[in-house]
Amino acid sequence: MLRIIAATRLDRLSFERHALLGRSLRRLAPRGEAHADIAYANARGLPEVFNAALACAAADDLVVFTHDDVRLNDWFLSERVRDALAEFSVVGVAGNRRRVARQMSWHSIDGRSYDEREHLSGAVAHLRDGLHEELRVYGPVPAPVRLLDGVFLASRASTLRNAGVAFDPQFPREFYDLDFCRTCEQAGLSLGTWPIAITHASPGKFGSPEWQQAYARYLAKWTE
C-alpha cells in the first residue's frame, strides 16, 4: 500500500475540493493503491503528524510525506516510489549531493543563491499566482544525495522504524527536512532523488522569524 501522509489546516471537504493534494488523491483513487492519511484542521507541527502516521503504518507500506499544496502529477506514483526504493532507502524529488557546515537550505549554501548545478539533482514544478506553472530543473536525476527537499519524502515504514528514524518535533515547519536527512544518514540509510513529477504551490518562508528560530535550533543540534 502507498500511504500518502500530509497535514492541512482545511477541513476534510475543503481539502478534497480545493487543496492541490486533495484533488490529486481523487485522480489516484481509481487505481486503489493509495491510502490518504491526512490530518485535517491541523494545528500540530509536521513532525508530530508524520511520526503518528508512521507509527500506524503497516511494515511493508510505502510511506510518502508531503504537503497539502502539492499536486501529484503521475498516476503511476506507486510504481515510481517502488522502483526508487529498490535503489535508495529514502527518496525525494530534489536534493543536494553535498552538505556543508551552516548550510541554509538543501539547495543553497548561503541563502542568497542556488548551489552549483553539479551538486544539485531533481526537478519540481512551481505554481505562481495559482495559474502559471514553471518547471525548475536542478540537476540530473536519479542521483545519490545527502539532503532532500521536504516537499516529498518517501520510504518504507519498516526501513525507518528498523533504523529508529523519526522526525524531530523541535522543527515543526522549517528545517524538519534537513534534520530528517541527517538523522537518516546517521542511521546508515541511503538518500536519493528520483524522477517523480510534482507541482508545488508554496514559495516557503525563507528568512522569516520562524525560519530563523528553526535555523538556530538546527545549528545548535548539529553543533555547527
Domain of 153 in residue numbering reads as 2-221
Residue-by-residue pLDDT tens, the chain, 224 positions: 899 999 999 999 999 999 999 999 998 888 888 999 999 999 999 999 999 999 999 999 999 999 999 999 998 999 999 999 999 999 999 999 999 999 999 999 988 789 999 999 999 999 877 678 899 999 999 999 999 999 999 999 999 999 999 999 999 999 999 999 999 999 999 999 999 999 999 766 677 899 999 999 999 999 98
Question: Which pTM value belongs to this model?
Answer: 0.96
**Strand spans (E) along the chain:** 2-7, 34-39, 62-66, 70-72, 90-92, 94-96, 120-128, 132-139, 143-145, 147-148, 152-156, 191-193, 198-200
Write down the pLDDT at residue 59.
95
Q: Is the bond into 142 cis (omega within 30 degrees of 0)?
A: yes
Q: Running DSSP on this structure, what letter comes out for residue 99?
A: -
Q: Distance between CA 110 and CA 104 in Å, rounded?
A: 6
Q: What φ, ψ does residue 166 adopt, rounded to 5°?
A: -150, 170
Write down the pLDDT at residue 180.
98
- The amino acid at residue 39 is A
Q: What φ, ψ does residue 139 adopt, rounded to 5°?
A: 175, 180
Tell me the CATH number at 101: 3.90.550.10
Q: Is 131 helix (H, G, I), strand (E, B) or coil?
A: coil
Number of domains making up the chain = 1
